[in-house]
Structure 1
Amino acid sequence: MAQRRQDGGAGDADYGALGSTYSRYRRPDPRIAAVITQALGEARTVLNVGSGAGSYEPTDREVTAVEPSAVMRAQRPAHLAPAVDATAEQAALRRRLLRRRHDHLQRPPVAGPSCGPGRARRVTRGPVVILTCDPARVQEFWVREYAPEVLEVEARRCPSPEALADGLGGGVSISTVLIPQGRTDGFTEAYYGRPEHLLDVEARRAPARPGRSSTPR
């Protein structure tokens, strides 16, 4: 089971320390939201693991959101249902979800093989969508010439699309999600045409969550 931090968060990013301004900078972009909606297909029930502040969470279906960080849960807008305080690995949560299987699982970027994409198959009937980054592609970003350590950390956070596909057990398609200029979602690569935002300390502190480059499903 993942080690939980003081605010309940788990994983390699301390959202208790970094996530207080998340919703200010990580605002869902409608063009990316449309891609996710298409990937959801006809699913009526969605399990959103690592749901954070609710970015890109569908509002036209029944959603069970799971988020261990209290700081991130507190930033969820009022129109979204409260998130379950748990990690995906917790046995009690698994028992609860197994009693009511979901049509679809939407998972934000994952960090390392311990996230277990194979677990997603056990609690869903339908597709699994992972909006993530390709660690090889992220290192091609021009910021590498100025701050290679930043991109190296980001690249280590996510397995390759091929590793995710293996973990899901086949039947996986991978599609590229373009990063539009002027995007409202503020993650590092989104500022390729607005580099002045990379000098904003709070923008740099906003940890990575949904909104990357490729979507295995």
Structure 2
Amino acid sequence: MTDHPSELPAETPPLPEDPALAAAVLEIEAHVAQAGWDQPARLYALVETAQLVAQEPALAAAMSIDGPGDDGSFTSIEQDGLPPGQALEAALHTIVWPPSVSGCAAVIERLVLPPGTDDDIPDDPTAAELFAREHPDRQEVRMVAGVTRAGASYCALRLRAHDDEQSVVNGTELVPGLLELLHATLADSSTDTPTDTVHDSPNDSPEQGPA
């Protein structure tokens, strides 16, 4: 799949509406960046660290979370079991989080095309993918987007052509389509029956929110 927004923002990003969410998103981005490029999509549950310590002390101890110094932060827990071969955006339509999850975050890599190319992109998905990969002005970008039940959002974008921490672009509304899908997974689903429910079970090396 490809994304082709008008252009990546160059202005100074607005202040985060939720500093704890911003910190969690930036920490996820930095951790994922250590493994390089061409990675599969990832999905994280964001759990209030103090709540995790109180309700799951054994898990908190395994993740080296102390508790008192982590008040007000999120612990990010990577999810397993995403449908193989399915785009994350499609999988998000089937996901509803349990009440213990305060937010969620997703990591995807996409090709970004320059402004003015929308009319040239073929309708066929396979042809569109080939068009994007062969476009001389394409950019490869890693997008990290996070949201909370309270409605906050935060994003971090890293270009493959500028792969360093100083060049990471961050702000609250950089990937609106992905943010909308993530917010929907946290919406009240009491009248709907979800296709799949993701629980906050950690993988072998869960992400830990900032202290």
Q: TM-score per shorter chain, which class?
A: under 0.3
> Which has the larger Rg?
2
Greater helix content: 1
Q: TM-score, normalised by structure 2?
A: 0.27
Q: TM-score, normalised by structure 1?
A: 0.27
Q: Which has the higher contact order (CA 8 A, sep 6+)?
A: 2
